[in-house]
């Protein structure tokens, strides 16, 4: 445990020593030293008329890389660079002008190492003429600042992990909503989108189209095995994704059908777009184990509200149009019948 520092007696410029100063003496110094030791702080008393330290605690001397005897009697100019010296003098002048307690934070470089202190200054009332004294209480905040920086870094890492976990959660949630073989949405998600599109269209009085797609039986690659069918399903899913917009939705409706929801699109536009997709499928060449595979699709197209007044009716009309395309020999896009309104 550090012992209270004795007051050194270096000669000052005016011939006085620190013991000749009107400093209160060893009793108060020992009391301050006991408090500083209890809290891990440092303190000093400075003669502002000469700028030299009259008293310094061992902790403060150690922080500044000096012995107590070497620190007492020195001015700040012997201890700090010009930038730090200007900051210390400004704080002392402010405390002297205010006549009370002043708290200031200092980042000072000592022996090439940057350290941080909270310094509390108080002018001392003395009876000696023209010799103002100032008590400065030094609290090492370097450790606190480093701990705060570490805390901020840790919080940043936690936030980064939380964002990564949230992205992973969204990815897993999105993965659960998609069919593994085609990459299209699941039927449950698609039907939810379909109901919301119907509600929106009813409120805004606009159209949307529903399309059913099926691989034609006469060129069904199931005859070549499961791997061939998976290859065709992957290709069809890729073509469907590439042929739809972000506002549209598509899904693996069941084992034999795909479904596409075309938002804000009427029968004519839907037919044109699906005709382009049909041609893409018919010209798609797949290769498996050196053997070329091809496939064609049949499509049924229905629209809301022209061919149906509800989602259920729309699904039925679209399925009937798909069946009609199959009866026509496949590789065909068939439109559902438009309902005629009666007076």
Q: List residues bridging with 140 in a β-sheet.
A: 117
Each residue's pLDDT tens digit, 140-178: 887 676 677 777 777 888 888 888 888 777 665 555 566
pLDDT digits (tens, 9 = 90+) for 48-58: 888 899 988 89
Task: Please give the helix or strand (H or E) that residue 214 lies within, else none.
Answer: strand 208-215
Model-level pTM greater than 0.75? no
Q: Are strands 133-140 and 113-124 parallel, antiparallel or unpaired?
A: antiparallel
Q: Is the dihedral of CA 188, 191, 195, 197 positive or negative?
A: positive
In contact, 133 and 23? CB cutoff 8 Å: yes
CA dihedral (57, 63, 66, 72) positive or negative: negative
Take residue 53 and report the two structure tokens written for it: 């330290």
Q: What is the pLDDT of residues 282-318, one digit of tens each?
A: 998 888 887 888 899 999 999 998 888 899 999 999 9
Q: Report domain extents, the chain.
A: 18-140, 144-176, 179-335
| CATH 3.30.70.270 is the classification of domain 179-335 | yes
pLDDT in tens, 174-210: 555 666 656 687 888 888 889 999 999 888 888 999 9
> What's domain 18-140's superfamily in CATH?
PAS domain (3.30.450.20)
**Domains 18-140 and 179-335 in one fold:** no
Measure the CA–CA gap between 211 and 278, rounded to whole angstroms.
Answer: 12
């Amino acid at each position: 445990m550090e012992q209270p520092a004795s007051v050194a007696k270096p000669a000052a410029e005016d011939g006085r020593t620190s013991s000749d100063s009107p400093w209160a003496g060893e009793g108060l110094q020992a009391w301050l030293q006991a408090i500083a030791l209890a809290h891990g702080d440092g303190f000093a008393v400075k003669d502002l008329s000469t700028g030299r330290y009259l008293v310094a605690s061992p902790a403060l001397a150690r922080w500044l890389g000096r012995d107590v005897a070497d620190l007492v009697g020195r001015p700040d100019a012997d201890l700090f660079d010009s930038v730090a010296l200007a900051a210390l003098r400004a704080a002392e002048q402010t405390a002297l002008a205010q006549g009370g307690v002043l708290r200031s934070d200092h980042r000072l470089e000592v022996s090439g190492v940057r350290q941080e202190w909270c310094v509390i200054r108080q002018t001392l009332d003395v009876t000696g003429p023209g010799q103002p004294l100032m008590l400065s209480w030094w609290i090492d905040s370097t450790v606190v600042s480093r701990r705060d920086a570490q805390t901020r870094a840790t919080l940043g890492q936690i936030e980064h992990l939380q964002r990564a976990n949230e992205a992973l959660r969204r990815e897993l949630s999105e993965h659960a909503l998609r069919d593994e073989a085609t990459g299209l949405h699941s039927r449950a998600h698609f039907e939810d989108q379909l109901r919301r599109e119907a509600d929106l269209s009813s409120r805004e009085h606009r159209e949307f189209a529903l399309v059913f797609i099926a691989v034609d039986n006469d060129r069904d690659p199931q005859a070549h095995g499961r791997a061939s069918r998976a290859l065709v399903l992957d290709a069809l899913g890729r073509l469907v994704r590439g042929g739809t917009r972000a506002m549209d939705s598509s899904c693996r409706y069941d084992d034999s059908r795909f479904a596409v929801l075309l938002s804000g699109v009427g029968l004519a536009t839907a037919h044109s777009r699906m005709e382009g997709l049909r041609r893409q499928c018919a010209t798609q060449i797949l290769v498996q184990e050196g053997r070329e595979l091809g496939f064609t699709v049949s499509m049924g197209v229905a629209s809301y509200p022209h061919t149906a007044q509800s989602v259920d009716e729309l699904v039925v009309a679209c399925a009937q149009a798909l069946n009609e395309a199959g009866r026509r020999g496949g590789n065909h896009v068939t439109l559902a019948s438009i309902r005629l309104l009666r007076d």
